[in-house]
Amino acid sequence: MIWLTGLSSAGKGTIGKELLRHLQTSGHQAELLDGEKLRQGLCKGLSFSEADRNENVRRIGFVAELLAKHGIIAIVAVISPYRAARDEIRHLIEPFIEVYVNASIEVCEARDVKSLYRQARLGELRGFTGIDDPYEPPLAPEVECRTDSESIEECVQKILNKLGLYFRNDHG
């Protein structure tokens, strides 16, 4: 499974969609689990507290494991700010490719795709990652994408290259 972590507006969703397209085009079964889809179906009612964010990650891990068991590559694109919660999933699913979708908070805030940073700055949103809630970057991610300096296509290629190693191993 591929786990995209990073700040809001860092580009997780965009990379996830492109990655899904590439994998499907090359004949793989894959599924994108992004924050929005999950908040509706799986994680309705969860708050932004540390406990609830981690519960969110745990449920996603359960679903991803189920998909992986049936040969479906799960692409997860959620902020998932806590290192320990991500590491829990790492120990659950093999191979686990953690992708740090990294752009500076300034760049993310300038993009502000969903106007969430604006709301957080105005105090309309509390517990917003990067503003008044922590983000713990991965210490040794399998891939790091610098979306403030690399193109989406470059980022996707880096992930596909890493994934390729596993596919080759699969077939001896």
80 annotated active-site? yes
* Least distance to a second copy, CB of residue 31, Å: 7
- Out of 34, 48, 72, 157, point to the residue binding a second copy (CB under 8 A): 72
Beta strands in 84-152 (DSSP E): 97-102, 143-146
* Least distance to a second copy, CB of residue 132, Å: 26
Closer to a second copy by CB, 27 or 172: give it. 27
How many angstroms separate the CA atoms of 75 and 141, rounded? 15
| Active-site annotation holder among 9, 26, 49, 80 | 80
* Least distance to a second copy, CB of residue 40, Å: 8
Closest CA to 33 of 8, 54, 12: 12
How many angstroms separate the CA atoms of 35 and 136, rounded? 18
Residue 21 is a binding residue for a second copy (CB under 8 A): no
Per the CB < 8 A criterion, the answer to whether 83 and 136 are in contact is yes
Catalytic residue ranges: 80
